[in-house]
């Protein structure tokens, strides 16, 4: 009889020196843990996957991880590597945004300005990051995910002579070669291989020692499960060469928990060592127009999903033999990682969202305690309260983080937040007023006349005749008509 352990769905050879110390795991409620374990078990059974790993991150830390395997007693732990497919794109995108933040590139730059002699040179870096360049979805030649990168040794092998399927900026069209080109851009500017830049700039600062270009034991082996029979076929483990920035990386549930915390802007010890929170927020905003039912969109290297009333940011991944998911709900401060070693499993994809919902709904986050603004400038305090845009009533509030918040009085809905600038003005952070300037306009005697919000005049009384209301105010004032 064959020893089942000789045919494990993952490599049992341990490599303790490669595995980071286990993360502290604060307790979840017992009923929450049981619900998570049950959903994971159902996912592995119904999905017919050799193994399935799940992990939950809350408050920037790994709080739960578990796994199910086809072989009793041999479930992988959080330090077993799986191939993560297109989650690799999120790492490439962060490297590109670091270049932008250092002033080495601009997202509006055409690729050819920094990486000449490609058939996609007219595409901008922003378009490549957001899959709006119109490039072909795949490389020419044999299926790149299942063949050696030696078949595509040069950048010219990644694209056809006429690689564009749509006009640039016209629509979202997912492109794997586009992210391979971004990886080549990073390598060109950093003057080192893409993986070396990733290791130095991202993986090492975040303590992600088990995220690698090629598998390192212990790692899972990839399998295809027959669609009509309970039998399996091993998938080849290939090095995709220049396509690596689009989908080559191997990682673990523990490492991806660190990555999820980073993407959420909640890395213990500080996210800013790799990328600022403002840049992460920029990556999380939709950069490509949603289509259809608006349930999904794409930012800068990040997928965005609307699911059960939640906005999720992250990415899915697939390579022959493997599926992966990493999703963050910023509003709930919960993230989930799921990994399996099967080429295809429709039942796999809902698991991450449902694990996230279990934690968010059973153990909702506590809001930060309210704290007073102890050193508010009296002149700022004097600006708070009701203001009027014509006859429309608004309220201006001063928050403890030194931002101003403008809301509609009739509904209480927020119109925009504003951050202070060195010149005394304020810049809108969201909504219709994002990027617009809010200025305090003084009267001749030095008192506040009105607020100017992108040319809109806000006054203390509706259509205040003493203020510079565009078009003037009827000298008769308010009357019965």
What tens digit of pLDDT does each residue of 454-465 get?
999 999 999 998
Q: How many domains does the chain have?
A: 2
pLDDT digits (tens, 9 = 90+) for 175-185: 999 999 999 99
Whether residue 330 sits in one domain with residue 288: yes
What is the predicted pLDDT for the residue at 26? 57
CA nearest to 5, candidates 52, 74, 64: 74
- Mean of pLDDT values over 73-88: 95
49 phi, psi to nearest 5 deg: -105, 140
pLDDT digits (tens, 9 = 90+) for 217-266: 999 999 999 999 999 999 999 999 999 999 999 999 999 999 999 999 87
Q: Maximum CA pair distance of the chain?
A: 101
Whether residue 206 sits in one domain with residue 248: yes
What is the predicted pLDDT for the residue at 158? 93
Whether residue 386 sits in one domain with residue 351: no
Instruction: Determine, yes or no, domain membership for 13.
Output: no
What is the predicted pLDDT for the residue at 247? 97
Residue 278 has pLDDT above 70, yes or no: yes
Whether residue 170 sits in one domain with residue 101: yes
Q: Would you say 151 and 141 are in contact if contact means Cβ atoms under 8 Å apart?
A: yes
Cβ neighbours of 119 (radius 10 Å): 19
Q: Would you say 45 and 8 are in contact if contact means Cβ atoms under 8 Å apart?
A: no
Neighbouring residues of 232: CB distance < 8 A, sequence distance ≥ 6: 50, 223, 224, 225, 226
Whether residue 162 sits in one domain with residue 257: yes
What is the predicted pLDDT for the residue at 37? 97
**Would you list the DSSP string of 263-293?**
HTT--TT-GGGTS-HHHHHHHHS--B---TT
What is the predicted pLDDT for the residue at 270? 55
Burial of 125 (0-12, 13-18, 19+ CB in 10 A): buried
Percent of the chain beyond pLDDT 70? 92
What is the predicted pLDDT for the residue at 271? 65
What is the predicted pLDDT for the residue at 267? 66
CA nearest to 180, candidates 97, 88, 105: 88
User: What is the model's pTM?
Assistant: 0.87
Whether residue 310 sits in one domain with residue 258: yes
Distance CA 203, CA 211 (A): 7
What is the predicted pLDDT for the residue at 400? 85
- Mean of pLDDT values over 260-282: 83
For helices 349-362 and 30-47, give the axis angle rounded to 10 degrees: 170
Residue 11 has pLDDT above 80, yes or no: no
Spacing of C-alpha 277 from chain mean position: 12
Whether residue 318 sits in one domain with residue 406: no
Instruction: Determine, yes or no, domain membership for 59.
Output: no
Instruction: Determine, yes or no, domain membership for 280.
Output: yes
What is the predicted pLDDT for the residue at 220? 96
What is the predicted pLDDT for the residue at 397? 95
Whether residue 300 sits in one domain with residue 253: yes
Instruction: Determine, yes or no, domain membership for 278.
Output: yes
Whether residue 324 sits in one domain with residue 350: yes
Q: Which residue has the higher pLDDT, 3 or 286?
A: 286
Instruction: Determine, yes or no, domain membership for 45.
Output: no
Instruction: Determine, yes or no, domain membership for 464.
Output: no
Residue 13 has pLDDT above 70, yes or no: no
Whether residue 455 sits in one domain with residue 420: yes
What is the predicted pLDDT for the residue at 24? 47
Whether residue 397 sits in one domain with residue 282: no
Instruction: Determine, yes or no, domain membership for 22.
Output: no
Residue 272 has pLDDT above 90, yes or no: no
Residue 19 binned pLDDT confidence (cut-offs 50, 70, 90) = very low
What is the predicted pLDDT for the residue at 217? 96
3-state secondary structure of 5: helix
Q: Which two tokens stand for residue 158?
A: 């990644």
- Mean of pLDDT values over 21-44: 84
Q: Which helix (H) or strand (E) holds 383?
A: helix 378-383
Distance CA 260, CA 327 (A): 7
Q: Would you say 407 and 394 are in contact if contact means Cβ atoms under 8 Å apart?
A: yes
Domain containing 387 equals 378-459
Residue 174 binned pLDDT confidence (cut-offs 50, 70, 90) = very high
Whether residue 391 sits in one domain with residue 293: no
Instruction: Determine, yes or no, domain membership for 11.
Output: no
What is the predicted pLDDT for the residue at 53? 98
**Would you list the DSSP string of 194-211?**
HHHHHIIIIITTTT-TT-
Q: Would you say 306 and 291 are in contact if contact means Cβ atoms under 8 Å apart?
A: no
pLDDT digits (tens, 9 = 90+) for 361-405: 999 988 888 888 777 788 889 999 999 999 999 999 998 888 999
Supply the DSSP symbol for 374: T
- Mean of pLDDT values over 437-448: 93
Supply the DSSP symbol for 296: E
Q: Would you say 303 and 314 are in contact if contact means Cβ atoms under 8 Å apart?
A: yes
From 327, 362, 397, give the residue that closes a domain. Answer: 362
What is the predicted pLDDT for the residue at 265? 86
Residue 327 has pLDDT above 50, yes or no: yes
């Amino acid at each position: 009889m064959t020893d089942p352990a000789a045919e494990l769905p993952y490599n049992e050879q341990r490599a303790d020196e490669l595995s980071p110390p286990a993360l502290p795991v604060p307790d979840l409620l017992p009923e929450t843990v049981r619900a998570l374990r049950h959903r994971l078990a159902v996912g592995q059974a119904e999905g017919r996957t050799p193994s399935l790993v799940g992990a939950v991150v809350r408050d920037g830390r790994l709080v739960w991880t578990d796994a199910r395997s086809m072989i009793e007693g041999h479930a992988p732990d959080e330090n077993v590597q799986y191939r993560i497919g297109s989650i690799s794109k999120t790492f490439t995108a962060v490297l590109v945004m670091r270049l932008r933040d250092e002033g080495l590139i601009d997202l509006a730059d055409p690729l050819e300005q920094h990486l000449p002699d490609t058939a996609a040179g007219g595409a901008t870096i922003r378009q490549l990051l957001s899959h709006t360049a119109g490039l072909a979805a795949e490389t020419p030649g044999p299926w790149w995910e299942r063949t050696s990168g030696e078949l595509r040794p040069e950048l010219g092998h990644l694209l056809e002579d006429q690689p564009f399927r749509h006009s640039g900026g016209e629509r979202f069209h997912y492109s794997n070669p586009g992210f391979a080109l971004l990886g080549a851009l990073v390598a060109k500017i950093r003057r080192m291989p893409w993986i070396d830049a990733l290791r130095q700039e991202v993986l090492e600062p975040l303590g992600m020692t088990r995220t690698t270009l090629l598998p390192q034991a212990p790692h899972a082996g990839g399998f295809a499960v027959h669609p009509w029979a309970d039998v399996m076929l091993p998938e080849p483990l290939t090095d995709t060469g220049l396509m690596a920035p689009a989908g080559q990386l191997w990682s673990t549930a523990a490492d991806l928990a660190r990555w999820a915390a980073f993407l959420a802007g909640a890395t213990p010890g500080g996210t800013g060592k790799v990328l600022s929170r403002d840049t992460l927020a920029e990556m999380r905003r939709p950069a490509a127009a949603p289509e259809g039912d608006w349930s999904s969109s794409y930012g800068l290297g990040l997928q965005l999903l609307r699911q059960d009333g939640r906005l999720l940011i992250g990415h899915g991944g697939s390579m022959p033999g493997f599926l992966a998911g990493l999703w963050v709900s910023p509003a709930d401060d919960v993230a989930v990682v799921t990994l399996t070693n099967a080429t295809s499993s429709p039942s796999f994809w809902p698991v991450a969202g449902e694990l996230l919902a279990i934690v968010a709904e059973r153990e909702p986050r506590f809001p930060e305690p309210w704290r007073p603004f102890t050193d508010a400038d009296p002149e700022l305090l004097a600006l708070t309260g009701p203001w009027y845009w014509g006859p429309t009533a608004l309220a201006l509030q001063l928050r403890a983080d030194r931002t101003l918040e403008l809301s509609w009085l009739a509904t209480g809905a927020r119109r925009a937040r504003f951050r202070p600038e060195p010149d005394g003005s304020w810049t809108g952070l969201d909504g219709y007023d994002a990027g617009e300037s809010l200025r305090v306009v003084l009267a001749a005697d030095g008192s506040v006349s009105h607020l100017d919000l992108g040319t809109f005049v806000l006054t203390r009384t509706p259509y205040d005749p003493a203020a510079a209301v565009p078009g003037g105010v009827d000298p008769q004032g308010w009357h019965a008509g």
